[in-house]
């Protein structure tokens, strides 16, 4: 059966004008007992991590709730193939950016979740990576709690973990990196990270949404003492067939980012661990042939 994917484009249309019924329709087939303990007969919301692109990286638990969902509210970084796991009656609602139009505001997305849950639906809020890593899962959870709607978080593989695996860069490694820090390049307040805390030896830094802020990142880290030849990798379209790994160093970060302008999504990994990739990438054949030589 061909399914319609509803697009909400952030133009401020109300839920009602966007075609959402305000009648209280409860589909008991898909509501588990646990759902009935939330206020009245509200449905339950699952904040689900879809992982980084590759549908095979979904958890079994995520797959189960996707299969049972009445509604899936998803954004740009979610691979559309994952939606195919849902039932033919499941409604899909896209709330990401589209054709230059802005994404829906966080408040509007949260409101959609509330509306559907109040109709007794089982709602899956599907997000790229993990909902609690730069995924605003906390904000949505707070609003759901405010409305007495039960929710559960199903973790996903965050981009740092997925990209590290698919590019063969271990984020920690004995003697090279004893800690790893996830940093966002985008901050609502405009405040820059505390560079002094990021430049200690023996740590790996992973910048999400960092490409547009490459110049600030480069300047900040150099100023606080990281070497210009500190190794870095930029992974674009991680965990997909289009994945590319660009190996470089801190002094070239800005120029590399300019070359990659507009390529999204992209993740920056900085650390001595990046150097291990060359060795780890060798094919079994090349290792055997080297041993023979």
Do residues 64 and 115 touch, judged by C-beta distance below 8 A?
no
Q: For tokens 């849902």, name the residue.
A: 86
Do residues 266 and 208 touch, judged by C-beta distance below 8 A?
no
Using CA atoms, how far apart are residues 220 and 191, in angstroms rounded to an integer? 12
Please give the backbone phi and psi of residue 219, each rounded to the nearest 5 degrees, phi first. -60, -45
Q: 201-230: which residues touch ligand SAH (CB under 6 A)?
A: 208-209
Q: 1-40: which residues touch ligand SAH (CB under 6 A)?
A: none
Could you say which of 72, 235, 250, 269 contacts ligand SAH (CB under 6 A)? 235
Q: Is 233 an interacting residue with respect to ligand SAH (CB under 6 A)?
A: no
75 is catalytic: yes
Could you say which of 9, 35, 70, 130 contacts ligand SAH (CB under 6 A)? 130
Rounded least distance, CB 260 to ligand SAH, Å: 11
Binding mask 144-173 for ligand SAH (x = CB under 6 A): --------------xx---x----------
User: Concatenated DSSP letters for 76-95?
Assistant: TTS-GGGGGGS-TT-EEEE-
214 sits in which H/E element: helix 214-223
Q: For tokens 């599907």, name the residue.
A: 126
Q: Is 266 an interacting residue with respect to ligand SAH (CB under 6 A)?
A: yes
Q: Is 239 an interacting residue with respect to ligand SAH (CB under 6 A)?
A: yes
Could you say which of 77, 82, 153, 274 contacts ligand SAH (CB under 6 A)? 77
Paired tokens of 9: 């484009």
Using CA atoms, how far apart are residues 31 and 125, in angstroms rounded to an integer? 16
Q: Is 48 an interacting residue with respect to ligand SAH (CB under 6 A)?
A: no
- Active-site hit among 9, 70, 75, 130: 75
Longest Cα–Cα distance of the chain, Å, equals 75
Could you say which of 96, 120, 129, 155 contacts ligand SAH (CB under 6 A)? 129
Paired tokens of 90: 């499941």
Q: Is 74 an interacting residue with respect to ligand SAH (CB under 6 A)?
A: no
Using CA atoms, how far apart are residues 129 and 77, in angstroms rounded to an integer? 8
Q: Is 98 or 147 the residue whose CB approaches ligand SAH more closely?
A: 98
97 is catalytic: yes
Catalytic positions = 75, 97
Contact set with ligand SAH (CB under 6 A): 52-53, 77, 127-130, 133-135, 158-159, 163, 208-209, 235, 237-239, 265-267
């Amino acid at each position: 059966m061909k399914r319609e994917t509803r697009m909400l484009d952030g133009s401020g249309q109300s839920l009602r004008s966007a075609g959402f019924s305000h009648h209280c329709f409860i589909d008991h087939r898909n509501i588990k007992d646990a759902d009935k303990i939330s206020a009245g007969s509200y449905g339950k919301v699952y904040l689900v991590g879809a992982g980084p692109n590759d549908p095979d990286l979904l958890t079994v638990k995520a797959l189960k709730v996707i299969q049972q969902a009445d509604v899936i509210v998803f954004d740009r970084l979610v691979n559309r193939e994952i939606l195919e796991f849902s039932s033919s009656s499941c409604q899909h609602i896209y709330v990401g950016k589209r054709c230059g139009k802005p994404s829906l505001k966080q408040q509007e997305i949260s409101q959609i979740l509330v509306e559907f849950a109040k109709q007794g639906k089982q709602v899956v809020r599907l997000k790229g990576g993990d909902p609690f890593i730069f995924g605003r899962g906390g904000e949505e959870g707070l609003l759901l709690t405010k409305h007495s709607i039960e929710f559960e978080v199903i973790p996903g593989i965050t981009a740092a973990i997925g990209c590290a695996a698919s590019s063969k860069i271990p984020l920690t490694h004995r003697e090279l990196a004893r800690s790893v820090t996830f940093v966002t390049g985008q901050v609502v307040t405009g405040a820059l990270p505390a560079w002094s805390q990021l430049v200690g030896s023996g740590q790996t830094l992973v910048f999400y949404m960092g490409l547009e802020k490459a110049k600030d990142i480069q300047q900040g880290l150099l100023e606080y003492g990281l070497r210009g030849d500190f190794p870095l990798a930029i992974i674009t379209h991680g965990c997909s067939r289009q994945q590319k790994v660009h190996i470089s160093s801190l002094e070239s970060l800005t120029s590399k980012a300019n070359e990659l302008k507009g390529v999204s999504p992209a993740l920056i990994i900085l650390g001595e661990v990046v150097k291990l990739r060359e060795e780890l990438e060798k094919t079994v054949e090349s290792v055997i042939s080297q041993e023979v030589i």
